[in-house]
Structure 1
Amino acid sequence: MAEAKVTAQTKSEDEDSSNSDNDQQDSEDDEKDVVKFNKDDLEVNLVHCKLKKIPKGVSKLTKVECLSLRQNLISKLDRLTHLTTLKELDVYDNEVKEIHSLEELINLESLDLSFNNIRVIGGVSSMVKLEKLFLINNKLKKIEKLEQLTCLTMLELGDNRIREIEGLDNLVNLESLFLGKNKITEIKGLDKLKKLKVLAMQSNRITVLKGLSELTSLEELYLDHNGVEVIEGLDNNVNLMTLDLASNSVSRLSNISHLTKLEEFWFNNNNLDQWPDVELLKNATNIQTVYFENNPIAKDNQYRNKLRLILPSLTQIDATLCA
């Protein structure tokens, strides 16, 4: 028994020694570059390389403008401080928890930190040239600390935990705003966004259409999968070309006859049972696509024929092209 005990102890010590050596080797390996860097590279792609850290060699790049670190296991944004020439940084689908060490990247024009574990927006205020910011599928609860990013034209905050639209007043050049799949109950805080052309707020908790009157440049509005019951509040949105109200609780079409520029109208999965309501779309003489499937009117045997008679410019009804 004693001999067995000694043997087991010796084996355990050997394992510990082996594990220690492996840990040290892993640490050393982690410091090695997985690719050879040329300091004059303008574009570097390290996609799906199973990286746990940003390689040391990245900090030696002196001219790089585009760096992609997509689909890795990176948890910290270090070794990027000296990349002041960067215009595009893509860290999509990693394990980043905090935006830090990016303050020196003042020439960034596009930053993608989607599909990470970020809880708070921060560390971006110095990026005054930033035009596109992607933070899809993180754990954000609040829109904040974006006041200095007045050059932003696109902001993507979909699939987070945001409950309120706020902190956007200074983003006067914003053209596209994506807030889908959050927990927003009210459309507000958008009045200063006079240049906004695309607003996506699908899969939220919106029940009333309001807060859009100042968005006179709006061309695309996506509000599918909400709880809207009445179409209203679009009086000033005469430039709309795409209106998506699919999967809501609307029973009647109303207040849309003035939307003469409509090209696409998505209204599937609602409760429309009145054919005369479709006539409200006749003023949109260039309308090409409509979706009315899974409404009561779609059960009509002459469903497609009636739509084509009312709206002769149609090229697509639901998912099927017109013959």
Structure 2
Amino acid sequence: MENASEGVPGENYGALEGGTTEENSSSSILDLTSYQLHDLDGVELPPSLVELDLTANRLSALDPRISLLSHLKKLSLRQNLFEDAGVEPISRWDSISGLEEMVLRDNKLTKIPDVSIFKSLLVFDVSFNEISSLSGLCKVSNTLKELYVSKNEVTKMEELGHLHELQILELGSNRLRIMENLQNLTLLQELWLGRNRIKAVDLCGLKCIKKISLQSNRLTSMLGFQECVALEELYLSHNGIAKMDGLSTLVNLRILDVSSNKLTAVNDIANLTRLEDLWLNDNQIASLEGIDVAVSGSRETLTTIYLEHNPCASSPNYTATLRQIFPNLQQIDSDMFP
């Protein structure tokens, strides 16, 4: 968020002491982050505002003057005390229907608020609330590109099918057990599902996705990523995976994190010629023997490898052996090289 000049202490301008806005009458950005405000009394809201940031205050009700800010594109109410009733009026504020970014992260919401009037919405963030269902997402504009609903209590992936433009979906730290209803999200680039209860991978035919996180779930297999040929980053740590398979088609993969699983060997990544980071720590890999063949495709590209907390990390000449196999390594475990 851009900041401009400081507000004038004791005057009805820009905010409070230290509040930031632009100096002239056409000011477009107002940042009132971390002033512990209970309301906006005494705060001027210039009619030309394009961005209003009210992060980290004590607000529980919306100032009705916000409804008059017809140029507003970004509104952040992050880290306040809003409950469902406190944000309900926004569903009727037609004058700000051009809003493109709405942040309600870290409040006390129990349901997806009605934002159906925002026909140009691009970013919608309701993470860190108490939301138990995605019911209501069907009313969110199909223009949406980024949706964040992490750290809630959601149990089912639903009402996503109309979001054809979605590029980032964050549903980490919920109570999801099944991956589903993703088949229409054909432009999705990033899918974040860490810290759920998912047992199997089902990407519903998505092929263009570049980043996937399924860390801290209940996976026992890597199968399910074969068609994701555009994938560049894959995070699967803290699961119960015993075998590396289903990865040979992921020729664009740059980062692979399979740490803290039950792996006993390195397999199925010899074809990966772009791999830069390989995290294998905290597994049960007994020996370095054969690792040169297993990771042969990325022998030149690999710059970081983690193998600590495996039996093989106690091998004689552990570091020297890895540096000999992978000549461009810059990091082995926590050791950096010039």
- What TM-score range do you get, normalising by the shorter chain? 0.7 to 0.9
Q: Is the 8 A contact 2:287 2:315 kept in 1?
A: no
- Unaligned runs of 5+ residues in structure 2 are 1-36
- Residue deviations 1:104-143 (CA, integer Å, cap 9, x gap): 1111100111100111113333411100000010000000
- Residue deviations 1:12-48 (CA, integer Å, cap 9, x gap): xxxxxxxxxxxxxxxxx98864732122200001111
Report the residue type matching 1:211 in the other structure.
Answer: G
- Unaligned runs of 5+ residues in structure 1 are 1-28
- Correspondence for 1:131 among 145, 165, 172: 145
Q: Is the 8 A contact 2:111 2:132 kept in 1?
A: yes
- Residue deviations 1:144-172 (CA, integer Å, cap 9, x gap): 00111110000000000000000111000
1:235 aligned onto 2:248: yes
TM (norm. structure 1) is: 0.88
- Once residues 311 and 160 of structure 1 are traced to their aligned partners in structure 2, the CA distance between those partners, rounded to angstroms, is 39
- Residue deviations 1:245-281 (CA, integer Å, cap 9, x gap): 0000000111111111101100000011121232122
1:164 aligned onto 2:178: yes
- Correspondence for 1:45 among 49, 53, 56: 53
Q: Is the 8 A contact 1:58 1:79 kept in 2?
A: no
- Correspondence for 2:83 among 65, 75, 82: 75
- Once residues 290 and 32 of structure 1 are traced to their aligned partners in structure 2, the CA distance between those partners, rounded to angstroms, is 51
The number of aligned residues is 294
- Correspondence for 1:290 among 305, 309, 318: 305
- Residue deviations 1:31-74 (CA, integer Å, cap 9, x gap): 86473212220000111110112222221211100111111010
Report the residue type matching 2:181 in the other structure.
Answer: G
Report the residue type matching 1:80 in the other structure.
Answer: I
The residue that corresponds to 1:54 in the other structure is 62
1:80 alignment partner, SS class: helix
Matches of residues 107-256 of structure 1 in structure 2 within 5 Å?
107-125=120-138, 126-188=140-202, 190-256=203-269
Distance 1:91 1:33, change over 3 A: farther
Matches of residues 269-280 of structure 1 in structure 2 within 5 Å?
269-279=282-292, 280=294
Higher Cα Rg, which structure? 1
- Once residues 291 and 64 of structure 1 are traced to their aligned partners in structure 2, the CA distance between those partners, rounded to angstroms, is 47
Report the residue type matching 1:308 in the other structure.
Answer: R
CA shift, 1:301, in A, is: 4.0
The residue that corresponds to 2:13 in the other structure is none
Q: Which has the higher helix share?
A: 1
The residue that corresponds to 1:95 in the other structure is 108
TM (norm. structure 2) is: 0.84
- Residue deviations 1:75-100 (CA, integer Å, cap 9, x gap): 12223232211111111110011113
- Once residues 313 and 322 of structure 2 are traced to their aligned partners in structure 1, the CA distance between those partners, rounded to angstroms, is 10
The residue that corresponds to 2:15 in the other structure is none
Over the matched positions of the two proteins, sequence identity in percent amounts to 35
Report the residue type matching 2:322 in the other structure.
Answer: L
The residue that corresponds to 2:322 in the other structure is 307
Q: Is the 8 A contact 2:38 2:58 kept in 1?
A: no
- Correspondence for 2:271 among 245, 249, 258: 258
- Once residues 39 and 305 of structure 2 are traced to their aligned partners in structure 1, the CA distance between those partners, rounded to angstroms, is 56
